[in-house]
């Protein structure tokens, strides 16, 4: 059974989440020289295993990653395509647990590999209690997702009583449909994106704390937070293309659609903008420029998906080139002209697609 689970669940999981893993790798190591990666990685491992706060943050990340893998498997089990998996309940309990253990070890491999590295580093530096805590957390997470999946397969037929008789329905305006999908279906990905944004933003600002109030440092930190949202934007784009394609027939003009898109992107990125306001030196002009920079970048990432479609390989190449281009513009203090160019290009493309679909 394990080979079948790997070919179905494992292959599809890494196909859907390869973008997020590569973006994290680029954000952590893409800007470094090859000779500095070993020392940088060693410093990260020492920092993660030395204090209770960093251990708690990493354990939280492992927990969220495990929940993400569990939700992925449970969502696949609820679809008719994966109904054949229910037949595995006829196998022995020992064989079932062994196959699900193998699958989750593969799905959680990136987090488990880093966790083992942290444990080894903690043992080397005599942080034995911290190493023991991380080992216990790893075992509990793996055992928990296996147990939930096993019960779903073997005891999912038991009916449950509906304890809630009160049904409350609220009208959702059209522009909130994507927001509602993100909060309801992609809540875990949203949390991970926000955690990555906070870590990247805070890490870069602390790394260059001796540079003073140079706005370029905060813009680079904001850029990494923007890139961290690219996977979430791709998930929302897939939802809009698959389930909201009927919107093209609704009597909504171009500018209202663009306004709704920008409003959604603004709400999505509002926590990062508040974080920027709390850290960076402020003025009305700089705040307007940062808002223009953020909205133009997010709209460009969403527009790129309309161009490349489902080709995630091309999308990742675009993100890498986009990151380098914007980084160069920030360092040369030309981010405002670039922001204007990006938002004008995106609006022009949306205008072209809007009137083309109306013909």
Enumerate the domain spans of the chain.
Answer: 2-155, 174-358
The crossing angle, in degrees rounded to 10, of helices 254-279 and 187-207 is 40
Average pLDDT over residues 223-233: 87
Average pLDDT over residues 97-119: 86
Q: What is the pLDDT of residue 221?
A: 86
The answer to whether the predicted template modeling score (pTM) of the entire model surpasses 0.75 is: no
The crossing angle, in degrees rounded to 10, of helices 128-155 and 93-107 is 130
The C-alpha atoms of residue 48 and residue 56 are separated, in whole angstroms, by: 9
Split at pLDDT 50, 70, 90, the class of 166 is very low
Please state, as a whole number, how many other Cβ atoms lie within 10 Å of the Cβ of residue 261: 20
Q: Which two tokens stand for residue 121?
A: 């580093």
Q: Which two tokens stand for residue 186?
A: 């992609």
Q: Which two tokens stand for residue 130?
A: 């911290």
Long-range CB pairs of 244-250 (<8 Å, 24+ gap) are 244/177, 244/178, 247/174, 248/357, 250/174
Q: What is the pLDDT of residue 250?
A: 64
CA 282 to centroid of chain Cα atoms: 29
Which sign, positive or negative, has the C-alpha torsion 233, 144, 150, 103? Answer: positive
Split at pLDDT 50, 70, 90, the class of 275 is confident
Q: Which two tokens stand for residue 2?
A: 């394990």
Q: Which two tokens stand for residue 212?
A: 């003073």
The C-alpha atoms of residue 138 and residue 118 are separated, in whole angstroms, by: 12
């Amino acid at each position: 059974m394990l080979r079948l689970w790997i070919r179905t669940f494992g292959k599809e999981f890494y196909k859907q989440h390869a973008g997020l893993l590569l973006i994290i790798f680029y954000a952590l190591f893409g800007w470094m020289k090859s000779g500095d990666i070993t020392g940088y990685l060693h410093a990260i491992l020492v920092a993660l295993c030395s204090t209770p706060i960093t251990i708690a943050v990493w354990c939280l990340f492992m927990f969220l990653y495990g929940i993400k893998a569990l939700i992925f498997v449970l969502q696949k089990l609820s679809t008719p395509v994966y109904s054949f998996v229910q037949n595995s309940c006829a196998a022995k309990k020992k064989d079932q647990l062994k196959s699900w253990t193998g699958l989750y070890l593969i799905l959680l491999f990136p987090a488990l590999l880093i966790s083992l590295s942290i444990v080894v580093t903690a043992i080397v530096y005599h942080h034995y209690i911290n190493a023991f805590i991380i080992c216990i957390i790893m075992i509990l997470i793996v055992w928990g997702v296996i147990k939930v999946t096993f019960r779903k397969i073997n005891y999912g037929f038991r009916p449950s009583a509906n304890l809630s008789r009160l049904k409350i329905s609220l009208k959702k305006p059209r522009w909130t449909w994507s927001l509602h999908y993100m909060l309801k279906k992609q809540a875990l990905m949203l949390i991970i994106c926000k955690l990555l944004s906070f870590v990247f933003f805070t890490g870069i600002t602390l790394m260059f704390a001796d540079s003073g109030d140079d706005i370029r440092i905060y813009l680079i930190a904001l850029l990494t937070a923007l890139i961290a949202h690219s996977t979430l934007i791709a998930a929302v784009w897939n939802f809009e293309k698959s389930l909201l394609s009927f919107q093209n027939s609704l009597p909504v003009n171009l500018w209202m659609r663009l306004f709704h898109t920008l409003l959604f992107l603004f709400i999505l990125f509002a926590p990062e903008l508040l974080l920027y306001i709390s850290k960076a030196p402020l003025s009305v002009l700089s705040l307007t420029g940062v808002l223009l920079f953020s909205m133009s970048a997010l709209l460009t990432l969403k527009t790129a998906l309309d161009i490349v479609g489902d080709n995630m390989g091309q999308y990742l190449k675009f993100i890498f080139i986009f990151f380098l281009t914007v980084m160069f513009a920030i360092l040369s203090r030309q981010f405002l002209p670039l922001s204007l160019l990006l938002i004008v290009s995106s609006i022009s493309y949306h205008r072209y697609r809007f009137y083309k679909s109306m013909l």
